[in-house]
Structure 1
Amino acid sequence: MPATVHPSAPSGRTPATAALRFAGGWTLSFVPLLVFLTGCVAYFVVFKAFDMSALAMSAFVGLLAGAVACREHARYWDAAVRGISSPASVTIVLILFVIGMYSELVKTSGVAGGFAWLAESLGITGAGFTLFTFLAVCVVAVSTGSSIGTMFTAFPVFFAAGASLGAEPAVLAGAIVSGAVFGDNLAPISDTTIISSSTQSFRTRPGTADVGGVVRSRAPYALVAAAASAVVFALLGGAGDGAARAPELAEAAAPRGLWMLLPIVAVLVVAVRTRDIFRAVAVGLVLGTLTALVAGLISPAQVLSVADGAPAGYLVTGVGAVLGTVALVIGVFGIMGVLVEAGVLERLTSALRTGRLGRTPAGAEVAIAVGSTATTVLFGGVNSASMIAFGPVADEIGGRVGLHPYRRSNVLDCFAMGLGCVVPFLSAFLFIGATLVEANGASISAGALFAGTVYPLALTAVMVVSVLTGWGRRFEAADSSPVKAPPAA
C-alpha cells in the first residue's frame, strides 16, 4: 500500500517532501517532545500538581526549544501550525468545547447525590457498598465524560462514608478510581474517546472514526472488564459489618438528582444510534437543562447569568473547564506536526512495517498495544495526552494492514486506559486518588491503591485476550464498514 497522508495526520508532509532539518540531525526533532515529557513528570509525578494548563505550557515551551535547534525556522513553525490546524486537532477542540458545557450541567445538577440517597435508602453496607459505589461512579463518569472530575465529585460522597459502612478503604478507593476510568474509557463525551476516535482515519473515504460507532464497538471489552471488576469488589470490598449511618452520605443525599438520568440516557442513545456526537450533546443540553430546571436541581441563574460583574452559569464555566485541555491538544498537535515534518512518523512506521510486527494484523495490534501503554506510562498516566501523541502512529500502523478505524481506536484507547495509566509512583490517577483519600481523613499508599484499582487491570487482561485471539478484530471494507475478513492484498 503506498504511503499517503490521511485526514487524521497532523501534517501535510509526504515522502516526496524534504524532511525538516535540525542542527544536530533528525534526532533533535524530539526536543519538543522531551521537554513536554519532562513537564509531565515534573508536575504530575514530582510536584503532584494536576493541572492541564501546566502540561500545555510544557508543550509550548518544548516547541520554542525545538525551534532553536531547527535550521529552517519558518518551516518549523509552519509544520507546528499544520499540526495544530489538522482536521483531527480542530475536531477534538470543537467537541471539547461543546461537551464541556454539557458535562458542567451534569455536575451542577447533582447526579452523585442521587446515588448517595439511593445507597442510604437501601441500607447498603460492607462489600455491597463498595460494589454499589463502583457501579454508581461508573454511571457518573459516563455521564460527565471526565474521570478526574468524577473522582473529585465521588470521593467526598462515597469514600467519606465507606469506613462507617464497613467497606475496605483501599478497595473502596480503588472502586472509585476504577469507575472513573470506566467512564473515561466508554463515555461518548469523554476526551479520551474523542481523541482515540478522531486520530484514526478511514482509508476508503474521507474522515475519521465516528464516536458513536467506536463506543458501540468498544462496549463489549469495557463491559466484560467492568463485570469482572464488579465480582472482585463484591468479594473483597468489605472490611466489616459497618451498620452505622454515615453522616457524609446523608448530607450528600438528594433523590432529585436521579432525574438527570433521563437526559444522560438520551445522550447515550442518540450518540450510539446516530453516531453524531454534536447532535447527542445538543439533545443532552436542551433536555438536561429543562429537566434540571423543572426538577429544581438548578436555577435559571445557574444556566447563564452575571454575578458581581463576571459571567456565571454552567455554560460559561463549562467552556472554561476545558480550556486547559484544549491548550494541551493544541500544544501536543503542534509537536506532532514538527515530528511528522521531520520524518519521525515515517521512520517509525517504516521500521514497524518492515519488521515482523508490522506484517500481520495481530502484530500491528501488538505494536499499538505496546506503544500506547509505553507512551501512557511516559506521560505519567495522562492518557489523553499520550493518545494525542501516539494516535497518528497507531493510525499508520493499523491502517497499513487494513484494520478498521474502530478497532485501531479501541486497541489504542483500552491499553492507554489499562495498566499504563495506573503504574504505581507514575500514575496521575493514583496520585489524585491518594490525595483525595488524605483529604477525607485516611491514608492509603499508591501501591495499595493500585491493588484496589481493578478495572484498568481487568481491561488490560481483556484486551490481551482480544489481541491474541482476534476477538472483535475488524477490517475496513471497500464501503468503510467493519468486516471480519482482511482486505485483499
Structure 2
Amino acid sequence: MQQPPAPQFLGLTPILFFVAVVLCAGLITDDITAMPVLVALFLAAGYALILNPKGERLSLNDKIGRFCEGAGNKNIILLVIIFLLAGAFYSLTIDIGARDATVNMALSVIPTPMILPGLFLICCFISFSMGTSTGTITALAPIGLGLSEGLGVSPALLAGVVVGGAMFGDNLSFVSDTTIAATRSQGVKLTDKFKANLLITLPASIITFILLMFVPVADTSTLQQGDYDVVRMLPYMLIIICALIGLNVVLVLAIGIGSAAIIGLLVGSFAPMAMWQSIQTGIGWMQNLSLIAVTIGGIVALMHAYGGIAWLINTLTRRVQSRQGAEYSIAALVSLLDLSTANNTISIVAAGPIAKDLNEQYGVDPRRTASILDVFSCAFQGLVPYGAQILTIAAVGGLSPLSVSMYCWYPMLLFVFGVVAIAFNIPRFVTVNADTDV
C-alpha cells in the first residue's frame, strides 16, 4: 500500500503561485483581469512540476503521470462534458430566440422592482430542487444575463445573483452531493443537518433578497418591449422541469439541446446544417473553460502528491484547545481546502475524517460539524473566481470571473452568518443522534 506523502508547506504553493501571478499582473497593469486564467494556471502547473514530495524525488514522467491522473479524474471529465453540452444549449437557445423571448416576458410580467429579488428566489428554488449549483447555473445563466441590457444592470451583478441562488440549494438541498458528503462523514441525519443549516441560510438569503430590492433598475415601462413567443421558451421550461424531477444533469442538457434544435427547425430559425454549426459554436465557447477545469484537476493532484493538503490539515488542527476552537478550525480547514481545490464536495470529503476526530476530542456535536462543513465550503465555492460555478457563468456572459465574485452577496453573507453561528453556538442540540437517513 502506498504511504501518504509527508506534509510540507511547499506542496501547497502551486495554488498560491497561481494567485500571485494573477495579482501581480493586476497590480502592474491596474487591471486585475489582465492575466488570462488559463495562462496563469499553466504557469502554476509548470511550477508544480518543479517540486517534489518531502524527502523524495519523483521523475518528470511520474509527475506528469500524476498530473494527468488528476486532470483525467472522472469528476473532472464529467464536468467538461457538462460544460460542452451547456455551451451547445446556450448557442441553440440564443439562435432560436429563447433568451430574448424570456427577457421580454420577464419585463412584461414581473414588477420592475422585484425582477432581481425574483430571479434570486427562482434560482434558490431550482437549486434546492436539483441539489446542484452547476446545473442551476446551466439552466438559468442565459435568462439572468439576458436581463442585463433591459434593466440597465451590470451583467456581473446578475451573474452574482444567479451564483448566489445556486449556492443556496447546493448547501441546503437534501439531494446535494455536499449535503450527502457532510452527513455521511459525520454519521448524522439529513434532517438534523438541514435544521442546523436553515438557521444560517435563512438570514443570509433574506438579507440578500432585501439588498436586491434596493438595486436601481431601469423603468421597464419606458423600454420598448418586444413580443415573446412561448414556444421558443420551451427548452428552458423543459430543462427546469427535468431538473425538478431529479434527472441527471447530462440528460437534462441533452433534452434541452434536442428540444431547442427541433423548435429551431420547426419555426425556421435555422436550416439543418446551420443547426449543427450553432452547436459547434456553443461548444467552442466552452473549450477554454474545459481546459481550465482539466488543468486545475492536475494541479490539485500534484498538491496531494507533494503533501500540501496534508500540511494544511495538520497546521489548522495543531492548536485546538476548546469546543469553539475546534469548530473554528473545522470551518477554516474546509474553507482553505475549498480555496485549494476549488471543489466544495472534495473539500468536505477531505476534511470530514479530521473533523470527526475533533468532535470526539472536544465534544463538538456532529450535527453542528456537518452543518459547518457544508456552510463554509459552499460559501467559499460561491466566491472563488476559479471555481466551476463562477467560471461557468463568466464564460456564458463573457465576463471576468473576478468581477462576478464581487457581486456574490449571498455566499458572503453565508460566511458571515456561519461565523456568527459558531460564536453564539447556534443551533444548540440537546442530544446527539448518530443515525443517518442518507
Q: TM-score, with normalisation over the residues of structure 1?
A: 0.61
The equivalent position to 1:74 in structure 2, one of 44, 54, 58, is 58
The equivalent position to 2:3 in structure 1, one of 7, 13, 18, is 13
Give the corresponding residue for 2:147.
158
Q: Does 2:13 align with 1:35?
A: no
Give the corresponding residue for 1:267.
243
Verify the 8 A CA contact 1:102 1:284 in the aligned structure 2: no
Give the corresponding residue for 2:363.
none
Give the corresponding residue for 1:230.
209
Paired AA for residue 244 in structure 1 = T
CA deviation after TM superposition for structure 1 residue 436, in Å:
7.6
CA deviation after TM superposition for structure 1 residue 421, in Å:
4.9
Paired AA for residue 339 in structure 1 = G
Q: Quick one: distance in 2 between partners of 1:366 and 1:331?
A: 27
Cα deviations by residue, 1:296-330 (Å, 9 ceiling, x for unpaired) = 388695898479xxx93756766774232122122
Q: Quick one: distance in 2 between partners of 1:478 and 1:175?
A: 41
| Mapping 1:357-368, distance limit 5 Å | 360=323, 363-368=325-330
Change (3 A) 1:261 1:285: same
Cα deviations by residue, 1:252-294 (Å, 9 ceiling, x for unpaired) = x6642254222223224316xxxxxxxx124314432343244
Secondary structure at the aligned position of 1:243 is classed as helix
Verify the 8 A CA contact 1:53 1:324 in the aligned structure 2: yes
Paired AA for residue 36 in structure 1 = F
Instruction: Count residues in correspondence.
Output: 402
| Mapping 1:413-428, distance limit 5 Å | 413-417=377-381, 421=384
CA deviation after TM superposition for structure 1 residue 96, in Å:
0.5
CA deviation after TM superposition for structure 1 residue 61, in Å:
1.6
Paired AA for residue 237 in structure 2 = L
Verify the 8 A CA contact 2:124 2:166 in the aligned structure 1: yes
Change (3 A) 1:89 1:385: farther
Using CA pairs under 8 Å that are at least 6 residues apart, name the structure with larger relative contact order, 1 or 2: 2
Secondary structure at the aligned position of 1:65 is classed as coil
Q: Quick one: distance in 2 between partners of 1:416 and 1:395?
A: 17
Verify the 8 A CA contact 2:185 2:349 in the aligned structure 1: no
Verify the 8 A CA contact 1:36 1:59 in the aligned structure 2: yes
Change (3 A) 1:258 1:398: farther
CA deviation after TM superposition for structure 1 residue 116, in Å:
0.7
Give the corresponding residue for 2:304.
336
Q: Does 2:395 align with 1:410?
A: no
Give the corresponding residue for 2:78.
95
Give the corresponding residue for 2:100.
113
Paired AA for residue 367 in structure 1 = S
Paired AA for residue 293 in structure 2 = T
Change (3 A) 1:406 1:47: same
Q: Quick one: distance in 1 between partners of 2:22 and 2:181?
A: 21
Give the corresponding residue for 2:413.
458
Q: Which stretch shows the higher mean deviation, 460-469 or 386-395?
A: 386-395
Q: Does 2:383 align with 1:397?
A: no
- Computed over aligned residues only, the root mean square deviation of the Cα atoms, in angstroms, reads 5.4
Change (3 A) 1:198 1:265: same
Change (3 A) 1:295 1:303: same
Give the corresponding residue for 1:356.
320
Q: Which stretch shows the higher mean deviation, 58-67 or 103-112?
A: 103-112
Paired AA for residue 324 in structure 1 = I
Cα deviations by residue, 1:349-378 (Å, 9 ceiling, x for unpaired) = 445445336x64x544422433555677xx
Q: Quick one: distance in 1 between partners of 2:47 and 2:408?
A: 33
Change (3 A) 1:338 1:351: closer
Q: Quick one: distance in 2 between partners of 1:134 and 1:387?
A: 21
Q: Does 2:296 align with 1:292?
A: no
Paired AA for residue 117 in structure 1 = N
Paired AA for residue 266 in structure 1 = C
Q: Does 2:306 align with 1:324?
A: no
Verify the 8 A CA contact 2:151 2:218 in the aligned structure 1: no
Secondary structure at the aligned position of 1:312 is classed as helix
Change (3 A) 1:351 1:324: closer
Change (3 A) 1:50 1:32: closer
Paired AA for residue 57 in structure 2 = H
Change (3 A) 1:82 1:374: closer
Paired AA for residue 111 in structure 2 = I
Paired AA for residue 243 in structure 1 = S
CA deviation after TM superposition for structure 1 residue 476, in Å:
11
Change (3 A) 1:372 1:365: same
| Mapping 1:270-281, distance limit 5 Å | 270=246, 280-281=248-249
Give the corresponding residue for 2:116.
130
Verify the 8 A CA contact 2:372 2:418 in the aligned structure 1: no
Change (3 A) 1:201 1:225: closer
CA deviation after TM superposition for structure 1 residue 85, in Å:
3.9
Q: Quick one: distance in 2 between partners of 1:230 and 1:312?
A: 38
Give the corresponding residue for 2:43.
58
Verify the 8 A CA contact 1:80 1:337 in the aligned structure 2: no
Paired AA for residue 54 in structure 1 = V
Verify the 8 A CA contact 2:41 2:296 in the aligned structure 1: yes
Give the corresponding residue for 1:443.
none
Paired AA for residue 121 in structure 1 = S
Q: Quick one: distance in 1 between partners of 2:243 and 2:428?
A: 25
Q: Quick one: distance in 1 between partners of 2:138 and 2:35?
A: 12
Give the corresponding residue for 2:134.
145
Secondary structure at the aligned position of 2:222 is classed as coil
Q: Quick one: distance in 2 between partners of 1:13 and 1:100?
A: 35
CA deviation after TM superposition for structure 1 residue 38, in Å:
1.9
Q: Quick one: distance in 2 between partners of 1:79 and 1:312?
A: 34
Change (3 A) 1:50 1:260: farther
Percent of aligned pairs with the same amino acid: 15
Give the corresponding residue for 1:370.
332
Verify the 8 A CA contact 1:368 1:394 in the aligned structure 2: yes
Paired AA for residue 166 in structure 2 = G
Change (3 A) 1:138 1:55: farther
Q: Quick one: distance in 2 between partners of 1:217 and 1:50?
A: 40
